[in-house]
Amino acid sequence: MQQTAVSGEYGAAGAPRRVYDLEDYLNVVRRNWQWIAGPVLACLTVATVAAFFWPNTFESSAAIRVVPPQVPERLVPTNVNLQMGERVRAMAQTILSRNTLTNIITTHDLYRKDRGRLPMEDVIENMRKDISISNIRNLGGRDNGSTAFQISFSYENRHIAQKVTRDLMTRFIDENIRERSQQSQMTTQFLREQHEEAKRELETIEQKILAFRSSNQGRLPEQMDMNLGQIAALDQRINSLNTSMSRANQDRLVLEGEMRALREKLAALPKTMAPGMGSGAASSSQAQIDPALQKMNASIAAMEGQLQQMLDVYKESYPDVQRMRQNIAAARRSRDQYVNAAMALPPSAGGGAAGDPVRAAVPVKPRESIEIEAEIEKLRGQIRARELEAERYLHEIAETEQKQRGIQARIESGPAGAQNYELLLRDRETAKAKYDDFTRKLNNSAIATDLENRKQGETLEVLDLPSLPETPTAPKRPLIIGGGVLAGLVLGFALVAFREAKDASLKTLKDVRTYTQYAVLGSFPLLENDLIIRRRRRYTWLGWFSGIVVSVLAICASVYYYYNVRL
């Protein structure tokens, strides 16, 4: 006899349960269709009532565009370092804060039922869930820098949803202006403080350098070239003074030679006396010299010496030189007039008696002798001037050599703490670079702050106004009803599977053949009372009719409530 395959599970009396085929499953469904239809009807009714009693949720959305700065960033770099995505998230945290949402809820009278039964914190949390802020998206490809983001709010009243979305959009725009302006001003203030600190640091280092230089004047490393240049200049000055002194000594020797020649010439000239004077008077007059004439000659010689000294320093056109020449010419005219007057004076009757002292005191000399004596006096004055000039050069040489020794001593000694001075110079360069850098940054930041105050920086503007939703976004009623039917089917099949697992009776001929291992020759149906069968059917149809009526009434009531009461 052909054996029937069985599964690993066990049926009645510990016998292994056979594997069901399609006919068996159809028999199971036919026997237990009420256990499937009942949960399906119940779940359908519950899902429909819940879907139509669930209040509508309308979503209003608005788009905001990010407008780039009006001035190119390569000309005026911005001093707000946050990217737009980060700033949108920062502004969202501010707008979704407790104080802001409480203000919006109170202003628009939102969540009236929830406020009556829930604490305010839960109401605010529910509102945060109803607010959606999308990420920034590019509107024009890679080459177009225009970007935008979207704000949406979900609420059961579509008009209120639109108003709240407009309020959120306005708050985003105002918050962006306030936040950018505040960040720009804070950046500028920070850079200004850093700039002042860098300036004070640079001034402190400059004061230390000035104090070091004042205490080591002439011995600084950067003054080494200057000191060497001064030594070279002083060497040239000494050489020039030595040359000038040698020239003055040579001129003095030449003048002394000329003066000796004039004296010899003067000694060779014959002496003549005025008429009426005897030989005794002549011999006595040779020993006498007119004091006035001698004083005039000395004065003229002194002025000529001064003139020679002035010519060594000044040019011929200098006013003092010309004035000195005029004075010398006037003195010479006065001397000549005096000599001419003395020689032209007529002799007295006594022939030089004591009654004429002027005539007796003035010796009568030839004019050539007088001129030679004048030249001698002039040369004597020039010789004295050359001597004074040589002495002055010698004094200047001594002073120059003393200065040269002082500079050489400064070079050899060097400044005390030269290493600290080098550190100060390096610190000054570093502080100067830091100060210049903060100066540049402060100027750029001040310009950027001015642009933000004029609202010419990166701003937000409305791209799409808040929409007035026409259809609700939630609940999804077809999905809810379909999900209810599917849940009823799952529940019904689960109940049928549970009943079949608990029922160990033999239901079909296949069960008899499998579990008894006998051949079935025939079968007869279960004989029951017709009255009992009809009563059972009536109860069944009455129950299903009542359930269907109740389900239909509940569904119609929910639909009526949705379309006539809520809307």
Calculate mean pLDDT across residues 497-512. Answer: 80
Supply 114's token pair.
């929830």
| Percentages (nearest 5) of helix, strand, coil residues in the chain | 70, 5, 25
Q: What is the pLDDT of residue 10?
A: 42
- Domains of the chain, residue spans: 6-54+475-566, 58-198+440-464, 225-418
Answer for the pair 72, 179: CB distance below 8 angstroms, yes or no. no
Q: Which amino acid belongs to residue 231?
A: I
Query: 14 pLDDT exceeds 60?
Result: no
Strands (E), 413-470: 459-464
* Total Cβ atoms within 10 A of residue 377: 21
Q: What is this structure's pTM?
A: 0.53
Q: Could you give the C-alpha distances from 309 to 314, 318, 374, in angstroms and in order? A: 9, 13, 20
**What confidence tens digit (pLDDT) does each residue in 303-322 have?**
877 877 777 777 777 788 78
532 backbone dihedrals φ, ψ, rounded to 5°: -65, -40
Closest CA to 76 of 461, 459, 460, 457: 457
HEC assignment per residue over 175-206: HHHHHHHHHHHHHHHHHHHHHHHHHHHHHHHH
Closest CA to 469 of 152, 33, 133: 152
Number of H helices, E strands in the chain: 17, 7
**What confidence tens digit (pLDDT) does each residue in 159-174 have?**
999 999 999 999 998 9
Characterise 412 by phi-psi region: left (phi > 0), alpha (psi -120 to 50), beta (else): alpha
Q: Which of 11-25, 219-233, 376-390 has the highest mean pLDDT?
A: 376-390
Supply 541's token pair.
């149809």
Name the 3-class secondary structure at 462: strand
Q: Which of 306-310, 424-428, 453-457 has the highest mean pLDDT?
A: 424-428
Separation CA 371–CA 262 (nearest Å): 10
| DSSP state for residue 354 in the 8-state scheme | T
Q: Could you give the C-alpha distances from 186 to 85, 180, 198, 348, 456, in angstroms and in order? A: 21, 10, 18, 117, 18
For the chain, percent of residues with pLDDT exceeding 70: 81
Supply 267's token pair.
């000694």
Q: Token pair 């119940």 is at which residue?
A: 42
Separation CA 259–CA 324 (nearest Å): 23
Calculate mean pLDDT across residues 254-279. Answer: 66
Q: Place 218 in a pLDDT band, splitting at 50, 70 and 90.
A: low
Q: Could you give the C-alpha distances from 188 to 181, 197, 444, 448, in angstroms and in order? A: 11, 14, 9, 9
Characterise 69 by phi-psi region: left (phi > 0), alpha (psi -120 to 50), beta (else): beta
Separation CA 567–CA 555 (nearest Å): 17
Name the 3-class secondary structure at 133: strand
